[in-house]
């Protein structure tokens, strides 16, 4: 039975070897051990919930409140981007060199500006606080001596982390008056001596609701929201006003913005008051959810007060060609239509195959057609514009929409090549460019699929082309 004993010994040796190999694989290499000795901090930025900063230029404390950073005890908004940048430099923080004391070479922290320390940073993560002490700069290079509180070693690190912290307290404030996520916004209104402009998010697009009802231009609205989100605080006036004096102008504001985001139940109101006595280019400003009074640029505010006509959609249609299932043209007493099927496009009346590329190009031109201006908002007599009945029309049926989109063409405007027009669902009579005539003048024969000769040779060994297959039909 000795072979069994031998087998057991072999298996035991193999198992022991595998165990030792696994331990060796987990054990850091010599290079990795050196790197680990240089690692000072390795905290996950997302785990940090509090920072206490004590540097020559400022002494501030910050706490994470949900997705925001707040300065305490003032409880005002902090610059989240600045804080996340600081944390990124510390994840991990590694030394250029490590100075380790021993009996023969003791280290005196005071000789390196660490007793007392020039600056201190205390981070709290997972309930545990760690303090980093900053000392003098090194004689050569933009480096600095640092030490972990309670540890004997000294480290030499890049001075960038200290420089990011050593700023005035105001540098840690959020520099934006508004942190805006446009996709979360449901309503927006702006009031000034020019009047009130209000917009509401609809099912598919934004709609102007005041002073007129119309579809909003996505690009113009996006630009407006970007300017609003970039409005910077130029001066922090006070965080604890005892009252809001009329001198700030909030009783008769220069402008007021009212916003409601999807996840909130109440409106956020931005109020802009009078010019500052020492700088007329700045206006007092405040938020309804904060006591602080700020100053912002008057020209930047003026750029936000747009004419409602500037926010109106200038495109005559709202679709992309791939969404269309059917289109119809009525022009010069004739009507024809194109319908999409499983294989492409066909003429609705005759069933003739149409060139899909040509149809998509034609629909693309329709989607890009822009009106030239608004002529009358609430017309009482459409016949005077040649719109009742219309001279022509282009109608498209969009997937997912019950009602079609329709553009009506009327009479020529004076002796120009422009026409009166009206977009169904929008009240105004508009000016249409001559490209509108060209869209309706297209005949189905111009969109027909190219004919393929019945005697045309097929590709050797290959299937017939789609055009040839359709010709055979």
pLDDT tens for each residue of 21-40: 454 444 444 443 444 468 89
> What is the predicted pLDDT for the residue at 264?
77
Question: Are the C-beta atoms of residues 336 and 345 closer than 8 Å to each other?
Answer: no
Bridge partners, residue 121, by sequence: 53, 132
pLDDT at 15: 61
- Looking at residue 460, its pLDDT comes to 44
- Residue 465 confidence (pLDDT) above 50: no
The CB density around residue 190, as the number of other CB atoms within 10 Å, is 23
pLDDT > 70 fraction of the chain, expressed in percent and rounded: 87
User: In the block, which residue shows the tokens 């929409």?
Assistant: 401
**Model pLDDT, residue 265:** 73
Summarize the confidence of residues 168-188 as an average pLDDT: 89
d(CA 220, CA 61) in angstroms, rounded, equals 40
**Over the stretch 416-428, which tens digit does the pLDDT of each residue have?**
899 999 999 999 9
Average pLDDT for 351-371: 96
Summarised one tens digit per residue, pLDDT across range 438-454 is 999 999 999 998 865 55
| Mean pLDDT of all residues belonging to the chain | 88
pLDDT tens per residue, range 55-65: 999 999 999 99
Task: Give the containing element (helix H, strand E) for 358.
Answer: helix 356-368
Q: Given CA atoms 417, 213, 254, 280 in this order, what sign does their dihedral have?
A: negative
> Residue 376 has what pLDDT?
95
CA distances from 105 to 133, 144, 167, 304 (A): 21, 20, 35, 66
Average pLDDT for 140-160: 92
Which pLDDT score, from 0 to 100, does residue 470 have? 39
Whether residue 459 has pLDDT greater than 50: no
Mean pLDDT of 60-71: 94
Confidence (pLDDT) at 5? 67
Tell me if 394 sits within 8 A of 329, measured CB to CB.
yes
Identify the pLDDT of residue 280: 96
pLDDT for 463: 40
Given this model, what pLDDT does residue 179 score? 86
Instruction: Report the DSSP pairing between strands 93-94 and 39-41.
Output: antiparallel
Q: Is the pLDDT of residue 461 over 50?
A: no
For 234-289, what is each residue's pLDDT tens digit?
Answer: 999 999 887 777 889 999 999 999 999 877 778 999 999 999 999 999 999 999 99
Nearest of 225, 198, 203 to residue 308 by alpha carbon = 198
> Are residues 276 and 295 in contact, defined by beta-carbon separation less than 8 angstroms?
yes
Q: In this model, does residue 81 exceed pLDDT 60?
A: yes
DSSP category for residue 114: B
Beta strand segments in 300-413, E: 324-331, 334-340, 345-347, 353-354, 373-376, 392-398, 405-412
Looking at the DSSP bridge assignments, the partners of residue 197 are 190
Is it the case that residue 398 has pLDDT exceeding 80? Answer: yes
Tokens for 114? 């660490």
String of DSSP letters for 230-266:
T-BEEEEEESS-SS--GGGT-SS-SEEEEEEETT-SS
Output the pLDDT for position 25.
43
Question: Which run of H or of E encompasses 293?
Answer: strand 293-297
**Span 329-358, mean pLDDT?**
95
Beta-carbon count within 10 A of 462 CB: 7
Average pLDDT in the 208-226 region? 93
Q: Is 187 helix (H, G, I), strand (E, B) or coil?
A: strand
Distance from C-alpha of 243 to C-alpha of 292, rounded to nearest angstrom: 11
């Amino acid at each position: 039975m000795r072979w069994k004993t031998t087998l057991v010994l072999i298996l035991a040796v193999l198992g022991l070897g595998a165990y030792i190999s696994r331990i060796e694989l987990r054990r850091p290499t010599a290079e990795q051990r050196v790197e680990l000795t240089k690692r000072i901090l390795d905290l996950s930025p997302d785990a940090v919930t509090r920072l206490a900063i004590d540097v020559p230029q400022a002494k501030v404390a910050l706490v994470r409140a949900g997705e925001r950073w707040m300065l305490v005890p003032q409880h005002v908004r902090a610059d989240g981007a600045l804080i996340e940048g600081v944390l990124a430099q510390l994840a991990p923080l590694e030394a250029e060199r490590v100075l380790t004391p021993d009996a023969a070479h003791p280290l005196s922290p005071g000789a390196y500006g660490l007793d007392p320390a020039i600056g201190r940073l205390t981070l709290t993560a997972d309930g545990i606080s760690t303090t980093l002490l900053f000392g003098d700069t090194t004689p050569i290079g933009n480096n600095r001596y640092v030490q972990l509180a309670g540890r004997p070693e000294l480290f030499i690190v890049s001075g960038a982390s200290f420089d990011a912290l050593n700023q005035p307290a105001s540098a840690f404030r959020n520099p934006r008056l508004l942190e805006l996520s446009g996709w979360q916004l449901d309503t927006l209104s702006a009031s000034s001596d020019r009047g009130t402009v209000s917009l509401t998010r609809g099912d598919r697009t934004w709609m102007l609701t005041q002073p007129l009802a119309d579809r909003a231009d996505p690009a113009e609205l996006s630009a407006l929201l970007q300017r609003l989100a970039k409005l910077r605080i130029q001066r922090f006036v006070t965080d604890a006003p005892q009252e809001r004096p009329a001198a700030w102008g909030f009783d008769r504001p220069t402008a007021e913005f009212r916003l409601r985001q999807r996840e909130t139940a109440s409106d956020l109101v931005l109020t802009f008051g009078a010019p500052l006595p020492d700088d007329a280019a700045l206006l007092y400003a405040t938020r309804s959810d904060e006591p602080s009074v700020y100053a912002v640029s008057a020209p930047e505010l003026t750029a936000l007060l747009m004419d409602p006509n500037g926010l109106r959609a200038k495109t005559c249609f709202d679709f992309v060609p791939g969404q269309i299932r059917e289109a119809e043209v009525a022009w010069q007493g004739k009507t024809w239509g194109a319908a999409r099927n499983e294989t492409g496009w066909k003429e609705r009346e005759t069933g003739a195959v149409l060139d899909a590329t040509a149809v998509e190009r034609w629909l693309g031109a329709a989607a890009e057609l822009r009106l030239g201006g608004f002529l009358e908002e609430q017309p009482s007599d459409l016949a005077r514009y040649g719109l009742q009945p219309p001279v022509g029309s282009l109608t498209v049926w969009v997937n997912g929409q019950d009602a079609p989109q329709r553009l009506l063409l009327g009479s020529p405007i004076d002796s120009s090549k422009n026409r009166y027009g009206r977009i169904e669902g929008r009240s105004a009579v508009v000016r249409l460019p001559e490209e509108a005539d060209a869209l309706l003048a297209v005949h189905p024969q111009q969109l027909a699929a190219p004919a393929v000769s019945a005697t045309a040779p097929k590709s050797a060994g290959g299937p017939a082309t789609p055009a040839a297959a359709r010709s055979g039909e």
